Structure 1
Amino acid sequence: MTLTQLLQSSPAALAGFVFILGLLVGSFLNVVIYRLPKMMERAWQAEARSLLELPEQPEPAPFNLVLPRSACPHCGHQIRWYENIPLVSWLVLRGKCSQCGKGISVRYPLVELAAGLLGLMAALHFGYGAWLVAVLLASWVLLALAMIDFDTTLLPDSLTYPLLWGGLLAAWAGISPVSLHDAVIGAAAGYLALWSVYWAFKLLTGKEGMGYGDFKLLAALGAWLGWQMLPLVILLSSVVGAVVGGLLMATGLVKRDQGIPFGPYLAGAGLIALLWGQAIVDGYLGMMQF
């Protein structure tokens, strides 16, 4: 029996395989989350120097998603392959660098675990098929976007645009349960919904309530979910954002005039809608009939 036949015939094997794959992808997502904003900053600085016609600087050392190799931020120790096994290495090393003994953030294994659990839930929910592959890719991109926005208040176009086009292409290819018609309207409606809120808030207060990245992210979610799911996504993200933001301000972790990124809540709501959105809507409509 081939691996493909095993995954098709055994839901347990499929779930286990996707969970392990998710752990591996999560390890790579940690690299993306840390390095992509720094790569963007370097690109902006180079563009600024060019526009201002400043003297050229020596060519910097390569810094991308591959180079340099991952290293301890404290002592510079290059992480060996057996120190980079998702979850396992962190537990074996007890969350410390093998060279200097300083702590390694627990966030790294948590991101790996989150990517694995997202894959597991998607596999159990959708089963074997092309749509599962599409959902896995979308889920992992949303996880990366949520963490990057949480850290930097940035939603990189290099992730939001592929996510948007991926949703439209999945609908065009007939992989998605959403029709191409609904996906296109969903993308347009998602962008315009938050764009309208942005300008209404700015005209009333003179302040910017959110960034353009949020528009693009909701447009991408509209392409994956269809326009019918956008009210659910906006409601879920608003409720969670209000609760979490209120708790952060109440505990003093965030000041009242300090901006709170909306992207993580949009991404979380999108993931919920992607996996259980139809069940939530059907349950709500069923309750309304009584």
Structure 2
Amino acid sequence: MELVWGLEACGAALLGLLVGSFLTTVIHRLPRMMDQDFAAECAAHHQTHCHCGAMGADAAATAPLTLTRPRSHCPHCSQSIAWHDRIPVLSYLVLRGRCRSCHTRISLRYPLVELATAAGFAFCTARWGFSPTGLAWCGFSAALLTLALIDWDTELLPDSITLPLVWAGVLASALAWTGVALPDAVFGAAAGYLSLWLVYWGCKLLTGKEGMGYGDFKLFAALGAWLGWQALVPLLLIASLSSVLVALPMLLFQRLREGGYIPFGPFLAGAGFAAMVFGSDTVLRSLFALAGM
């Protein structure tokens, strides 16, 4: 794997910082927007079937949350954040990780997401150039990062990201941007979805419990579309083994969530990103070696 670092990669890193700043907003707001939409649907259903306008009026009175409105503000003091306090990474360092108004600590996640996105963009451009192929993989890495963090926080994998990611993978294959033949991408998407769908129903029939959510099926389908059906088994093994390696220390220190589980989406996303960077076979061998197998 040959990487060429230069002005293009540096420019892509700067673009990644800006995109990463936007992704922090998506990660924070999109699940809340989904909750808001669900509440509005419930209110409309209640109003229609119960002939009561109170709940519908309350929902209508609530200002809808979007990715652009209201303006970015401190969640503690509600003070709007000025443009010069929203410069990726730099503003965090200048403010020493605290709100300018109330001095409440700002989560370290914000600069880390920005830096991770910048690193992903720089890598993709260094490997594939500032080209449609490079930009396609930049979008792939940004989507995986967003999905991983949303799922870790809320156990949700939004359709508004997973489904476009599936179609983008098929389209990128058709345009010869991913190096995956179109039939392999189509079969990868179908097999990715159906394989976890079968695991889900097998687990539910045998144990009565849901082993994973439908969002995991769609994310795995997206990975199949981008990486081809041949990568599905290594990806699933990588995600499963890495989830065990993370869950065991959490279990020992009693850090697992109620019910004793962790979301699977972040590990699928991590497997996809690792496969993009190193190749699924290389990562799988490394994980087996780490686990002493």
TM beyond 0.5: yes
2:8 pairs with 1:14: yes
The residue aligned with 1:151 is 153
CA–CA separation in structure 2 for the residues paired with 1:126 and 1:108:
27
CA–CA separation in structure 2 for the residues paired with 1:38 and 1:211:
19
The residue aligned with 2:23 is 29
> What amino acid is the match of 1:175?
W
Q: CA RMSD in A?
A: 1.8
* Deviation of the 1:15 alpha carbon: 1.1
CA–CA separation in structure 2 for the residues paired with 1:278 and 1:154:
25
Moved over 4 A (4+): 281-284
CA–CA separation in structure 1 for the residues paired with 2:260 and 2:177:
42
Gaps of 5+ in 1: 1-9, 285-290
2:115 pairs with 1:110: no
Instruction: Classify the secondary structure of the residue corresponding to 2:143.
Output: helix
Residues 232 and 273 in structure 1, CA contact (< 8 A), matched pair in contact too = no
2:125 to 123, 126, 151: 123
**CA distance change for structure 1 residues 250 and 281 in 2, over 3 Å: closer, same or farther?**
closer
> What amino acid is the match of 2:76?
H
> What amino acid is the match of 2:71?
R
CA–CA separation in structure 1 for the residues paired with 2:210 and 2:142:
29
**CA distance change for structure 1 residues 199 and 37 in 2, over 3 Å: closer, same or farther?**
same
Instruction: Classify the secondary structure of the residue corresponding to 2:279.
Output: helix
Residues 24 and 112 in structure 1, CA contact (< 8 A), matched pair in contact too = yes
Query: Matches of residues 172-251 of structure 1 in structure 2 within 5 Å?
Result: 172-251=174-253
CA–CA separation in structure 1 for the residues paired with 2:265 and 2:259:
18
The residue aligned with 2:290 is none
Gaps of 5+ in 2: 287-293
CA–CA separation in structure 2 for the residues paired with 1:248 and 1:30:
25
CA–CA separation in structure 2 for the residues paired with 1:279 and 1:189:
19
* Deviation of the 1:60 alpha carbon: 2.0
1:70 to 72, 80, 85: 72
CA–CA separation in structure 2 for the residues paired with 1:278 and 1:126:
18
Instruction: Classify the secondary structure of the residue corresponding to 1:140.
Output: helix
Greater shift in the superposed pair: 125-134 or 216-225: 125-134
**CA distance change for structure 1 residues 70 and 205 in 2, over 3 Å: closer, same or farther?**
same
The residue aligned with 2:98 is 96
Aligned length: 275
The alignment-based identity, stated in percent, is: 49
